[in-house]
């Protein structure tokens, strides 16, 4: 019995373990899992199919319900298309009829016009020419409506009597105004760009002036603009005298209707002329100013020294008398006076050679500027050829301007040097005469 109990105890754990293993879940095969998924998908498809089928049935039923409406719309569209085709055919027929009628009317017009067509052509031509000259004429402010009238005449093919009369009157006004000297109130634009109202004097179709100064018409600004640079003083003086006089007087006008006056804008002033000489030109001017100032100073000094020599109680005479006062011998007095004259003459001659230097160096610098200018001219010819004179103008201007400046500076300085030299010579001679007089008294 004990043996059976021991055997039972030994095999009891094994039996319990086997029973636990038998109770564990058996794994599902992969094929069975796939089949389960397919079945689930099939169930979803069946459910969705029933839903979509219901929706499609509702949509089809709605379309069937609207078939009649669609058929009526199609019928209406066909009717509209047929009507438009008929309308298009009618318009084409009308267009052809209008073209034919227009051709017949043009032919009839040409027959009725006859030789008047040439007259209308000449009218348009003359209106265009007068319009071109009027737009920038000095009389534009006096006839403001003329531009519109002439433009209308130039664009018209068949003119009426009123247009022909307007053209005739416009030409008569032009003829009359060409011989007038008239005062007109107009808009004036000054040099600062400000606009004022004033009276201008118009000389025919040639020139307009404001306060004795030339103005030029500016139709874009509806006024007259003062020239930035006016002509010479003599020209403006003639204008002033003419406008103040009640009788016939000579005055200056621009026969080219503004072209000559416009050239004054490009005409260089004296500073521009000097600038054309470049650095050499300014050096020459500086030398000229220095020489002139020094010459004036030297002349002033000589005049002061002349007072010391020529006056009755002259300082020089007293100095000469004091220098020989304590000397007994005649030869000693003569030597002292000679030495005094030499010393004083040196004071008189001081600075004269500097004036001579300024007078001599100015033309030499002018010659140097001429050489430099010609070198630049030949360089321009080498680079650009002789086809464009503007490329050579700079060098030629420098050559001529420096020569001119050198001569202008040298001439007056040479005259001042001659005057100073003559003055020094005269004063030296007076000194010698006074010394001789003192020796003769001794």
Q: What is the pLDDT of residues 58-103, one digit of tens each?
A: 777 777 777 777 778 888 888 889 999 999 999 999 999 999 999 9
- Distance between CA atoms of residues 294 and 300, nearest Å: 10
Does the predicted model carry a pTM greater than 0.95?
no
- 209 located within any domain: yes
- Distance between CA atoms of residues 359 and 409, nearest Å: 7
Q: What is the pLDDT of residues 103-117, one digit of tens each?
A: 988 887 777 666 677
Is the domain of 301 the same as that of 217?
no
- 314 located within any domain: yes
Domain boundary among 219, 237, 267: 267
Is the domain of 287 the same as that of 434?
yes
Considering Cα of 218, then 222, then 223, then 226, what sign does the dihedral take? negative
Residue 266 has what pLDDT? 67
Query: Domain tally for the chain?
Result: 2
Residue 95 has what pLDDT? 92
Residue 4 has what pLDDT? 47
Residue 389 has what pLDDT? 66
Is the domain of 242 the same as that of 294?
no
- 430 located within any domain: yes
Looking at the predicted structure, is the pLDDT value of residue 294 above 90?
Answer: yes
Looking at the predicted structure, is the pLDDT value of residue 44 above 60?
Answer: yes
Is the domain of 290 the same as that of 434?
yes
- 109 located within any domain: no
Burial of 399 (0-12, 13-18, 19+ CB in 10 A): buried
Domain boundary among 230, 245, 267: 267
- 429 located within any domain: yes
Is the domain of 314 the same as that of 405?
yes
Is the domain of 250 the same as that of 294?
no
Domain boundary among 220, 247, 267: 267
Least confident of 74-88, 278-292, 335-349: 335-349
Least confident of 227-231, 282-286, 393-397: 393-397
Is the domain of 191 the same as that of 227?
yes
Residue 19 has what pLDDT? 45
Residue 387 has what pLDDT? 66
Is the domain of 251 the same as that of 335?
no
- 391 located within any domain: yes
Q: What is the pLDDT of residues 120-168, one digit of tens each?
A: 888 889 988 888 888 788 888 888 888 888 889 888 888 888 988 999 9
Write out the residue range of the structural domain in which residue 396 sits. 274-441
Is the domain of 321 the same as that of 425?
yes
| Greater pLDDT, 298 or 266 | 298
| Greater pLDDT, 388 or 277 | 277
Is the domain of 222 the same as that of 317?
no
- 115 located within any domain: no
């Amino acid at each position: 019995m004990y043996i059976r109990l021991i055997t039972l105890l030994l095999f009891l754990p094994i039996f319990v373990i086997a029973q636990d293993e038998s109770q564990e879940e058996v794994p599902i095969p992969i094929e069975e899992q796939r089949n389960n998924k397919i079945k689930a998908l099939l169930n979803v498809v069946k459910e969705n199919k029933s839903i979509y089928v219901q929706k499609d049935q509702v949509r089809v039923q709605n379309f069937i319900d609207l078939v009649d409406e669609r058929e009526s719309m199609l019928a209406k569209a066909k009717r509209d298309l047929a009507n438009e085709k008929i309308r298009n055919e009618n318009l084409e027929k009308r267009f052809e009829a209008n073209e034919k009628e227009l051709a017949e009317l043009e032919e009839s017009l040409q027959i009725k016009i006859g030789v008047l067509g040439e007259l209308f052509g000449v009218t348009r031509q003359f209106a265009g020419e007068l319009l071109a000259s009027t737009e920038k004429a000095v009389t534009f402010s006096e006839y403001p409506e003329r531009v519109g009238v002439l433009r209308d005449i130039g664009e018209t093919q068949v003119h009426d009597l009123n247009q022909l009369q307007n053209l005739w009157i416009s030409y008569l006004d032009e003829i009359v105004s060409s011989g007038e000297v008239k005062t007109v109130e107009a808009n004036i634009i000054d040099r600062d760009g400000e606009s004022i109202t004033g009276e201008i004097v118009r000389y025919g179709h040639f020139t307009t002036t404001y306060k004795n100064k030339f103005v030029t018409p500016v139709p874009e600004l509806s006024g007259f603009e003062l020239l930035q640079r006016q002509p010479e003083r003599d020209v403006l003086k003639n204008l002033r005298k003419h406008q103040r006089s009640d009788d016939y007087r000579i005055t200056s006008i621009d026969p080219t209707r503004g072209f000559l006056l416009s050239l004054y804008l490009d005409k260089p002033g004296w500073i521009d002329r000097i600038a054309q000489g470049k650095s050499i030109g300014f050096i020459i001017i500086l030398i000229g100013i220095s020489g002139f100032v020094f010459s004036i100073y030297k002349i002033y000094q000589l005049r002061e020294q002349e007072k010391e020599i020529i006056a009755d109680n002259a300082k020089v005479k007293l100095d000469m008398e004091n220098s020989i006062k304590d000397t007994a011998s005649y030869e000693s007095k003569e030597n002292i006076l000679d030495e005094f004259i030499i010393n004083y003459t040196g004071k008189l001659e001081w600075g004269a050679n500097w004036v001579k230097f300024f007078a001599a160096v100015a033309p030499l610098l002018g010659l140097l500027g001429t050489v430099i200018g010609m070198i630049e001219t030949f360089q321009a010819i080498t680079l650009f050829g002789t086809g464009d004179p503007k490329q050579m103008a700079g060098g030629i201007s420098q050559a001529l301007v420096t020569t001119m400046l050198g001569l202008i500076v040298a001439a007056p300085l040479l005259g001042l040097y001659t005057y100073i030299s003559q003055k020094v010579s005269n004063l030296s001679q007076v000194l010698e005469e006074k010394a001789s007089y003192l020796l003769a008294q001794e």
